[in-house]
Amino acid sequence: MSDNKSILVIGGGISGLTTAIEAAETGYNTIIVERNPYLGGRVAQLNRYFPKLCPPYCGLEINFKRIKQNPNIKFYTMAEVENISGKEGNFTVQVKLNPRFVNSKCTGCNMCVEVCPVERPNSFNFGMDKTKAIYRPHEMSFPMKYVIDSTACPGTQCSKCVEVCKYNAIDLNMKAETLQLNVSSIVYATGWNPYDATHMDNLGYGKVKNVITNMMMERMAAPNGPTKGKIVRPSDSKAVKTVAFVQCAGSRDENHLAHCSSICCMATLKQATYLRDSSPETKAIMYYIDLRAPGKYEDFLKKVQASNVIEMIKGKVAKIEEDSETQDPILVVEDVLGGKKIRQQVDMVVLATGMEPSIKGKGTGVQLDENGFVIADGQQAGVYAAGVAKSPNDVMTSLQDATGTALKGIQSAARR
């Protein structure tokens, strides 16, 4: 069954991994091109999945194992697609491999980090802590190779890491390379970025110190996060007693994201369980437009409601300000059912920011809808999309889709 031409999967998040692995296990060659220095994408940053509250790393571990033992799969990290030409069955794809400055001889011994004198904000943890300029993206990152942030590293004038590395694994002069791939089909599994919360002036993100996003909350709750799993507020690292969740922060709003991001209600309910687990006295309030816990997820909504950790108020948050003395955020909310305005002071606010397709505005030549999602059946033959690149969905739905997309890729190979 093996085909000499591969299916190219752009994006090594959970959807891209699924498409690539499922196709490879069916007997087809696949190539993953991932921009980050590690595979796993957004879910690698999640503490737990709803509704089972299990760690995404369990599934990633299985998927990485499937990659390791399957010769049909090739992957490139720190790689970006620069140009695509050709047609189904015969695409030529130019890929830029950005320099990692660390080669395959890296054993992951950590000596370089110990001597590196420079720090950088840790992007994996949304800047809530720091790593050295040479770093491991996170403990479980795959591939288990270190990487240098060239914007932070002083380069050859320092070279402390080069000197300490016994394996000649660090090359500060590493240059970007270009790679030409010949593939039969292309799958965009480019996923999403959290919507930039600074765009919502009224919600105070970036100005009110104790306003964070739901993705930051995931990192904070994670045992390997910036606070080692402790949920504390940024201004003074105090444990939080009252937390407000602001739903549809950017989503369902024509000035920001017109679509519903599908997952934010469930994500907030899940994060309420983080609060419950960290301290049973914590009180959470969720301000929502509609509670969207579709399908079987209704059970999770009921379970969280029953645990009394979270009060749910149908209302739109108009404004968030900071109490200058306590640095507590103060929310002004229009309580729809109560028919009144509420002023609520809390220790911390979590904005349930939505998913913005990463491919939006990239000018890749793929047909996008008005929200920036890849239109499912509007592409040239041999070009497909999987997961959130196509539609804002939860992990399970994205992976049903990603598995199906593997078959689409195979059909392109079979049609040649």
Locate all alpha helices (DSSP H) within 39-95, ordered by sequence.
56-68
CB proximity list for 396: less than 8 A, separation 6 or greater: none
- Show contacts with another protein in window 347-406 (CB under 8 A): 369-371, 373, 375-376, 378, 391-393, 395-397, 399-406
Would you say 56 or 194 has its CB closer to another protein?
56
- Show contacts with another protein in window 92-131 (CB under 8 A): 105, 107-110
Give the DSSP H/E element, type plus range, for residue 411: helix 395-415
- Show contacts with another protein in window 140-169 (CB under 8 A): 140, 144, 166-167
- Candidates 124-132, 210-218, 315-323, 334-342; binding stretch for another protein (CB under 8 A): 334-342
CB 151 within 8 A of CB 122: no
| Tokens 């060659």 -> residue | 29
Q: Could you say whether residue 25 binds another protein (CB under 8 A)?
A: yes
DSSP class per residue in 109-154: --HHHHH---EEE-GGGTTSSEEESEE-SSTT-SS---EE-TTT--
Q: Structure tokens of 323? A: 């109490």
Q: Could you say whether residue 295 binds another protein (CB under 8 A)?
A: yes
DSSP class per residue in 368-382: B-TTSPBPTT-S-TT
Q: Could you say whether residue 224 binds another protein (CB under 8 A)?
A: yes
- Per-residue x/- track, 33-72, another protein (CB under 8 A): --------------x-x-xxxxxxxxxxxxx-xx-xxx--
**Residue 17 neighbours by CB distance under 10 Å:** 30
- Show contacts with another protein in window 248-277 (CB under 8 A): 252, 258-262
CB 382 within 8 A of CB 363: no
- Candidates 32-40, 83-91, 234-242, 407-415; binding stretch for another protein (CB under 8 A): 407-415
Q: Could you say whether residue 27 binds another protein (CB under 8 A)?
A: yes
CB 394 within 8 A of CB 263: yes
Would you say 329 or 382 has its CB closer to another protein?
382
Would you say 96 or 314 has its CB closer to another protein?
314
Q: Could you say whether residue 205 binds another protein (CB under 8 A)?
A: no
Q: Could you say whether residue 1 binds another protein (CB under 8 A)?
A: yes
Q: Could you say whether residue 294 binds another protein (CB under 8 A)?
A: yes
